[in-house]
Chains A and B, each alone.
Chain A
Amino acid sequence: MTQRTTDIAVGLFMLAGLAALLFLALQVSGLSPKSAKSTYTVYADFNDTGGITPRGRVSMAGVTVGSIDSITLNKETFQARVAMSIHGEVDNIPADSAAVIRTSGLLGEQYIDISIGGDMDSLEPGDTFYATQSAMNIERLISNFASGK
């Protein structure tokens, strides 16, 4: 075992470690260089946020266009105020669009879907969604059905 072989083996070992870290960053945690690009924040008030969590997905027609930043309680209206950051290039969301909480599959994760409105004006950074639709609550659905409403 010469010194040079040792050097090469250790160098390859460290490179393999770096490559693995890169794999964990990009492929496993979905940290893409793209996520560092500009985003803007919009808000939505929900009566019931169900199971959405920060870092959850915000999508539009099934395409991910942003992520959920924070979920706080608005103490005046007792609604949940969700802040979400939308990718900078999606800058033409119609101002009368609605934010809807949906579930992927029957038991999958919940995410926010933006259903498109028809307004010519678009949402500006810091704006709040005009209309929202809260998470589907199966218990409430069943009780409404049972009481015939």
Chain B
Amino acid sequence: MIDRIASFGRSSIGFVISIGRAGQFLGGVLSGIPRPVTGFPLLLKQLYSVGVLSLAIIVVSGLFIGMVLGLQGYTILSDFGSEAAIGQMIALTLVRELGPVVTALLFAGRAGSALTAEIGLMKATEQLSSMEMMGVDPLRRVIAPRLWAGFIAMPVLAIIFSMVGIWGGMLVGVEWLGVFEGSYWGNMQASVDFRDDVINGVIKSIVFGFVCAWIAVYQGYDCVPTSAGISSATTKTVVYSSLAVLGLDFVLTAVMFGNF
């Protein structure tokens, strides 16, 4: 019994320590502001691998999620004879919730795991320590561009996701199921508010981008430098990012849309 309590205590202490280390690590990365001249190409390169290469999965899943929303929404709404409200339903669902959340989950799987594995392998092959040897700060040279890239790419991806989803919903709702196009867009425009819905969705995705990128680079930087360590760090990145995104999503939704 005492042993169990002790092991619980030990894991709690370990948890608090790792949170503290992650915070310290974040402070270290952010305090080294990327130098405009040398840092910018590094950031661009990371934006390419984190953002541009994630575009395909984002566009395809956005399209299908929009189409599924159109199909499901039509089936439910036509029971009430109000299938004209389908545009409103699709747009609000995507812009407020599914856009930021699904993008963040896909981002954690597609880009976050790659970041962790890359940094973890750099650590295992002692590239990071040899950089330190040469007087190059790995936090500034390797970690900071990746963190910023995730931070910048996520809102862009989420916005593209929402747009493609709304277009996919139109494809199903208007072209296939025959909802009048004017009421699709008209209902949408009457109910979606730019400030309250679109901007709040973008704020959500900025927060998610920050959290996902932070978890990914920290797990890579902190991993046990063996192949087993890298694989467990990659798994942790995906699991922790997904949990953090879903948990934060509830908190953010309650703050943003909970004032009835």
Contact = CB atoms under 8 A, between A and B. Distances in A.
B70 to A, nearest CB: 15
Contact of B159 (A7, A24, A27, A106): A24
B198 A24 contact: yes
B189 A10 contact: no
Query: Which of B48, B157, B190, B192 has most chain A Cβ within 10 Å?
Result: B190
B247 interface: no
A16 B158 CA distance: 12
A106 B193 contact: no
B47 A17 contact: no
A29 interface: yes
A118 interface: no
Contacts of A17: 155-157, 159-160
B159 A107 contact: no
Interface stretch (B77-85, B135-143, B210-218, B252-260): B77-85
Contact of A20 (B48, B91, B163): B163
A71 to B, nearest CB: 16
A27 B163 CA distance: 10
A16 B193 contact: no
A108 B185 CA distance: 14
B21 interface: no
A13 B52 contact: yes
A21 interface: yes
Interface in B180-228: 185, 187-194, 197-198, 202
Query: Which of A16, A17, A29 has most chain B Cβ within 10 Å?
Result: A29
Given A29-B193, A109-B187, 10 more contacts: A6-B48, A13-B55, A21-B198, A28-B95, A28-B162, A28-B188, A29-B194, A29-B198, A31-B194, A109-B191
